[in-house]
Amino acid sequence: MLRRRVSLAQPLTTRLTRLRERLRRHRPRTDEDGDLIWAAVALILAPDPDALLLIRRAEHPGDPWSGHMALPGGRRAESDSGLAATAVRETQEEVGVLLRPEHLIGSLDDVVPRTPVLPPIAVRPYVFSLPSRPVLVPNPEVAATRWVDLDHLLQLGTQHTVRLDVGGISRQVPAYQLDDAIVWGMTERIITTLLDQIRSDQP
C-alpha cells in the first residue's frame, strides 16, 4: 500500500498542474449525431521536459490515415464501458502503456472530419498526465513513436499552412512541422485545442 501511495504522489510540473485544474473546469463540446462512428484518442503528457506522445501509423492500403502522424487511439468496441475506456484500451494495444484512472486529467471537445472523403468518425480526446515517460512497446499498427516537447509545439512557426494532396485534390491545410514529419487533419485540430488550453493559463 505504501508503494502505491508513493507512485501516486509524483508531482506534476507547474504547467501540467495548471492544465489539470483548467480541464477540471472545462466542459467539452460534444457531438451527439447518432450517425457517427465513435472513437477516442489519448493525449499522453509526461515531464522532463513536458512532452506529448505521437505515433506514426503503419502503411496499410485503403486506410485513409495510413502513414499519418497521430495520437494513440481508435474506434470504440462493444466491450468498452465508455469512450475513456476506448482510449485506455487502444493505448495499451498500440504502444503498451497502461493508463490508470489517476492519470486522466480531463477531456477536450469532440472532433469530426471536415473532409467528405473520410469516414464519419467522431473522436473524443482524453488528456492523461504521467509522472515519467514510460517504456513504449509499439504493435504492428504503429510504425514509429516520438515524444514532442510542448515548448516546440507552442513556438511560433511550428504551426503553419502546408499544401497536401487530399483525396486527389490539392488543398492547403494547417499543420505542425516536426522535422521530417507533418501533423495535420484531426490530429492537428486536437493538438491545437490542447495548446489553446495551455496558453490560456500561461502567466
pLDDT of residue 32: 62
Instruction: Supply 193's cell numbers.
Output: 485545442
Strand partners, 42: 126
Collect the ranges in the chain with pLDDT lower than 70: 1-11, 31-34, 61-66, 114-119, 165-168, 201-203
Angle, helices 185-200 vs 14-25, to 10°: value is 100
pLDDT the model gives residue 30: 76
pTM for the structure as a whole: 0.87
The whole-angstrom separation of Cα 203 and Cα 127 is 21
Instruction: Report the run of H or E that residue 44 belongs to, with start and end.
Output: strand 37-46
pLDDT given for residue 201 in this prediction: 65
Peptide bond into 101 cis (omega under 30): no
Q: CA–CA distance from 52 to each of 31, 32, 82, 127 (Å)?
A: 25, 28, 23, 10
DSSP for 132-144?
SPPPP---TTEEE
Instruction: Report the pLDDT value the prediction gives residue 200, as an integer from 0 to 100.
Output: 85
Please work out, in degrees rounded to the nearest 5, the angle formed at the alpha carbon of residue 51 by the alpha carbons of 190 and 196.
40
Name the helix (H) or strand (E) containing 9: none
Instruction: Give percent above pLDDT 90 in the chain.
Output: 62
SS3 category, 186? helix
User: Containing H/E element for 90?
Assistant: helix 83-95
Secondary structure element (H or E) that encloses residue 16, with its range: helix 14-25
Q: What is the pLDDT of residue 66?
A: 62
Question: What pLDDT, on a 0 to 100 scale, did the predictor assign at position 117?
Answer: 58
pLDDT at 120: 80
Q: What is the pLDDT of residue 149?
A: 96
pLDDT of residue 157: 87
CATH architecture of the domain with residue range 11-148+185-200: Alpha-Beta Complex (3.90)
Work out the number of other CB atoms within 10 angstroms of the CB of residue 107.
Answer: 20
pLDDT computed for residue 156 by the predictor: 86
